[in-house]
Structure 1
Amino acid sequence: MKDGKSMKVNSQLQQNGHLPPFKLAKLFDPETSWDKDQLGDVLHWMRQSVALVCGLLWGSIPLVGGVWFILFLVISTTMIYGYYAMILKVDEEEFGGHGVLLQEGLFASITLFLLMWTLIYSLGHF
């Protein structure tokens, strides 16, 4: 298995003299082909970053109440839907439908959001 990886790297090195860099533009290119795992990982980590930012923001303002939790869910879900449907323009049926794509990373992001929100709020107001 290791030999297969090193052969692939060596062939890439021989083609152009250096390794191809990870292109951030791939994340915004609708022509890029995605497999289920790659797209799932991107959606998962996008949702985690939204959870981190919202948790830090909500805790530092300080905001309390269920309406802010619902707002986080709306923001997070809207960003994920907008990303895969409007920016990447993927056919959601190839990946299991809207439900599967919208659930990607949801429960982990709720945990991270609540943890950050509570932690920042508690540190600032005890």
Structure 2
Amino acid sequence: IPRAPQAEAPEHSQLFALWAWSQGKYSSKIPQLLLDEFLDVIYWFRQIIAVILGIIWGVVPLKGFVGIAVFCLINAGVLYLYFSSFQQIDEEEYGGTWELTKEGFMTSFALFLVVWIIFYTAIHYD
């Protein structure tokens, strides 16, 4: 009876990709599996920043365009410092700086607005 091939567990394939890359079995470029994981890290890091800044903006009582502009600057700036200085990755392997900077931005912006509005309304509503 022929068996259907079973998919390898994601942990094994990720570990194999990392091992193979470290052993030089890939070109100097990072394997696609690791590229996708790094984009996931950026996405979730951005969501954490959105929640933290939304809480701060709601408690402080920051209002209007200034709050939105400062959020955008902090969000983009922190992520840029993370992937360019801390991780020291080659941005071109991800499609350039702009692709990394915009990864998950709109979702984090929406989350920021929701958290900001909830906290501002809960604390400062008369």
TM-score (norm 1): 0.74
CA–CA separation in structure 2 for the residues paired with 1:104 and 1:3: 29
Q: Give the corresponding residue for 1:4.
A: 8
Structure 1 residue runs of 5 or longer lacking an equivalent are: 13-32
Q: How many aligned residue pairs are there?
A: 103
CA–CA separation in structure 2 for the residues paired with 1:50 and 1:87: 17
| Structure 1 pair 75–37 and aligned structure 2 pair: CA distance change class (3 A) | same
CA–CA separation in structure 1 for the residues paired with 2:113 and 2:9: 40
TM-score (norm 2): 0.74
Q: How does 1:113-124 map to 2 (within 5 A)?
A: 113-124=112-123
Q: Give the corresponding residue for 1:66.
A: 65
Alpha-carbon offset, residue 36 of structure 1: 2.1
Alpha-carbon offset, residue 5 of structure 1: 2.5
CA–CA separation in structure 2 for the residues paired with 1:112 and 1:2: 38
Alpha-carbon offset, residue 68 of structure 1: 1.3
Q: CA RMSD in A?
A: 2.2
Structure 2 residue runs of 5 or longer lacking an equivalent are: 16-29
The 4+ residue runs of structure 1 with deviation greater than 4 A are: none
Identity %: 33
